[in-house]
Amino acid sequence: MKYTRVLLLGVFCLSVSAAAHAQQEPARPATVSAPTAAVPVDDDDDDAVLDPAEPDFTIVNLPTTYVLPEHKGHFRIAHRFAGNLRAGTFGEKAGNLFGIDQGAIIAFEYRFAPIRRVAVTFHRSSFDKTIQFYGKYDPIRQHGAMPVAVSAIVSIEGTNNFKNKYAPAFGLVISRKIAGRVAAYATPIWVGNSAASLTEIGHDHGQETEPDEDPVSNGPRQDTFYLGLGTRIRAFGSTYLVGEITPRLDGYAPDMQEYGFGIEKRVGGHTFSLTFTNALGTTFAQMARGGTANALYLGFNLGRKFY
């Protein structure tokens, strides 16, 4: 039976009123002549203050617990060149400018925070013309006695400009930041209907790749549960090393797990990452389908904050 079209899984906009614990100082006696110092603003309660251990919303492909301030936006381009750096001789790779001449899978996204600690994202990838809508809620921040930050995510994506092969997803992002220099992440994510596309993620020059038969129509629906593991290390100044891997723990798991690594530079409101991955996908379902053995692709992420 054909997979039922999901018209609305909804970007979850949870309205949670943030309690402001602004404590007033007791009145000083009139005999005290020293001026009263202004109460400092708690940076941990200001979402616009940069945390040097976590400067961006993604590692390579996996999400982070980085918070988008209320009513602010962020734009990102994810570019994955299609040339396999592990195929051919060095001369052949150099002749193709290390994959740049062999086309690319390009994704762009825009995220916006309609209310505090809630962000909604539109993501569009040129692979199978995939559109993903997802929401992120950041209820727990690392602060004081709380050793970790926790974010919840929910998503729905579909190919052919959100007309086919719908794949819902939900999960958590759990992070631990250390000394302003290291951030470690664990991201358990369940993806429904991850076998909706059994074709290998490859470069098709923007053309929709439809198999002759729908595997979901002719067999049981297959889902995937995977655990994303990632880290960001501030090597020096505003330069970072990033890495991630997404082993599949249950369900549909073709080929091998996706992984990626790179070097990242933050300049003002811009973040640029030079990346190397074994997969061309950038959405949750594309990551669930894994990467390709004996493949490595050059790419980059470019993000811009609008605040």
Q: Kindly report the number of other CB atoms within 10 A of residue 237's CB atom.
A: 9
pLDDT value at residue 93: 83
- How far is residue 7's CA from residue 128's CA, in Å, rounded to a whole number? 19
In the chain (307 residues long), the average pLDDT of successive 10-residue segments reads 36 34 40 44 72 96 98 98 92 86 95 98 97 98 95 98 96 97 98 77 47 44 93 96 98 95 96 98 96 96 97
Structural contact between residues 173 and 146, judged by C-beta atoms closer than 8 angstroms: no
- Measured between alpha carbons, how far is 1 from 231 in angstroms, rounded to an integer? 41
For 58-306, CATH gives: 2.40.160.40
Count Cβ atoms below 10 Å from residue 253 Cβ, excluding itself. Answer: 19
pLDDT of 226 reads 98
Other beta carbons within 10 Å of 299: 24
**CB-side neighbour CA atoms (13 Å) of 273:** 27
What is the spatial distance between Cα 47 and Cα 24, in angstroms, rounded to a whole number?
22
DSSP string covering 142-158: -BTTB--EEEEEEEEEE
**Which pLDDT score is estimated for 46?**
84
Matching residue, tokens 């039922």: 4
Q: Please provide the DSSP assignment of 260-306 as one string.
A: EEEEEEEETTEEEEEEEES----SHHHHHT-B-TT--EEEEEEEEEE
Q: What is the pLDDT of residue 84?
A: 95
**Separation CA 264–CA 273 (nearest Å):** 4
The per-residue pLDDT for 32 is: 44
Q: How far apart are CA 277 and CA 262, in angstroms?
A: 9
Q: Which residue has the tokens 């909706």?
A: 196
Do 272 and 264 contact (CB within 8 A), yes or no?
Answer: yes
Which DSSP state fits 32?
-
State the pLDDT at residue 244: 98
Task: For residue 175, give Cα distances in angstroms to 23, 57, 184.
Answer: 29, 12, 6
In terms of pTM, does the model score above 0.75? Answer: yes
**Collapsed DSSP state (helix, strand, coil) of residue 23:** coil
